[in-house]
């Protein structure tokens, strides 16, 4: 138990540098910079969540609009779907015919399973005008882009905070080394004097 509390105290002392006669102004500035980095990283969390939520909402709105304007119909193949060694995908393009929302017959090219024969029935997606389209997006399609956007936002803010901290610390270290060299230059002659 005491080992954990000692570790906690050491960590807090390192982070905040505490107070005392040996703490320099540059030490306090470095402690302030650390606090600002932590606050920036903590602030990045709600910002990243807001970005992820906005992306998911936008994609969800698009998916809802697509779902409202698209529906499935049964189409008939007019020609055999391509097959053979040249065809490496399970879905190929083939000519089909279907009846649109207005009742008019349509002919077009749609994605169908490989190897289907002419006259076979296949389900396709069409839009309000009766043209072939793709399957509408689902709400599940928004999860990966939303998560990626939120993660990238968090990493960008946290990375910016870390990159801003490093030059600050470098400048403070240089200042401390300069002060140390000046102090040593003043003390060294006194220490190197020979006592008679």
Q: What is the DSSP pairing of strand 105-113 with strand 91-99?
A: antiparallel
SS3 of residue 55 by DSSP: helix
In a domain, 99, yes or no: yes
Single residue among 88, 115, 135 that ends a domain in this structure = 135
Pair (128, 169) in one structural domain: no
Asked whether the predicted pLDDT for residue 3 surpasses 80, the reply is no
User: What percent of the chain lies above the pLDDT cut of 90?
Assistant: 19
Claim to verify: residue 59 and residue 156 sit in the same structural domain? yes
pLDDT range class, residue 157, cuts 50, 70, 90: very high
Rounded CA-CA distance 106/64 in Å is 26
Helix (H) or strand (E) holding 17: none
Tokens of 25: 């102004």
Most confident of 31-35, 50-54, 125-129: 50-54
Has residue 195 been placed in a domain? no
pLDDT of residue 166: 86
Same domain, yes or no: 53 and 81: no
Residue 4 lies in a domain: no
User: Is residue 43, in this structure, part of any structural domain at all?
Assistant: yes
pTM of the model: 0.61
Alpha-carbon distance of 96 to 103, in angstroms, equals: 16
68 φ, ψ to 5°? -70, -30
Q: Does 58 map to a domain?
A: yes
Q: Which domain holds residue 60?
A: 17-64+141-190
| Alpha-carbon distances of 90 from 42, 53, 59, 87, 93, rounded to whole Å | 47, 35, 28, 8, 10
Mean pLDDT estimate for the chain: 82
Q: Is 146 found in the same domain as 60?
A: yes
Which is higher by pLDDT, 87 or 142? 142
Q: What are the strands, taking DSSP E only, across 78-154?
A: 91-99, 105-113, 121-126, 132-133
What burial class does residue 142 get, using C-beta atoms within 10 Å of its C-beta: 0-12 exposed, 13-18 middle, 19+ buried?
buried
Which residues lie closer than 8 Å to 10 by C-beta, 6 or more apart?
none
Residues 154 and 127 in one domain: no
Whether residues 98 and 118 share a domain: the answer is yes
Q: Are 125 and 110 contained in the same domain?
A: yes
Q: Please give the Cα distance from 90 to 77 (Å, whole number).
A: 16
Show the tokens assigned to 157.
Answer: 């803010």
Q: How many domains does the chain have?
A: 2
Residue 88: is its pLDDT beyond 70? no
pLDDT of residue 1 exceeding 60? no
Q: Would the pLDDT of 167 be above 90?
A: no
Q: Would 169 be classed as within a structural domain?
A: yes
The pLDDT value recorded for residue 170 is 84
Which of 94, 112, 135 finishes a domain?
A: 135
> How would residue 18 be classed by pLDDT, with cut points 50, 70 and 90?
low
- Write down which residue in 116, 135, 154 finishes a domain: 135
Q: 148 and 60 share a domain?
A: yes
Q: Which of 6-10, 71-75, 168-172 has the lowest mean pLDDT?
A: 6-10
For residue 1, is it within any domain?
A: no
What mean pLDDT do residues 28-35 have?
Answer: 79
Select the more confidently predicted residue: 82 or 133: 133
Helices (H), the chain: 2-16, 25-69, 143-192
In a domain, 2, yes or no: no
């Amino acid at each position: 138990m005491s080992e954990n509390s000692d570790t906690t105290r050491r960590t807090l002392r390192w982070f905040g540098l505490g107070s005392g006669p040996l703490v320099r102004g540059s030490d306090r500035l470095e402690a302030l910079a650390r606090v600002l980095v932590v606050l920036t990283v903590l602030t990045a969390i709600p910002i990243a969540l807001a970005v992820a939520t906005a992306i998911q909402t936008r994609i969800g709105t698009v998916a809802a609009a697509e779902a409202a304007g698209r529906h499935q119909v049964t189409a008939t193949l007019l020609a055999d779907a391509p097959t053979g060694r040249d065809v490496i995908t399970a879905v190929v393009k083939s000519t089909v015919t279907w009846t649109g929302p207005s009742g008019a017959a349509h002919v077009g090219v749609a994605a169908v399973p490989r190897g289907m024969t002419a006259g076979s029935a296949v389900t396709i997606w069409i839009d309000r005008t009766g043209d072939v389209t793709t399957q509408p997006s689902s709400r599940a399609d928004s999860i990966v882009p939303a998560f990626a956007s939120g993660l990238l936002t968090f990493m960008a803010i946290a990375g910016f905070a870390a990159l801003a901290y490093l030059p600050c610390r470098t400048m403070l270290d240089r200042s401390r080394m300069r002060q140390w060299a000046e102090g040593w230059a003043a003390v060294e002659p006194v220490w190197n004097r020979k006592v008679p």
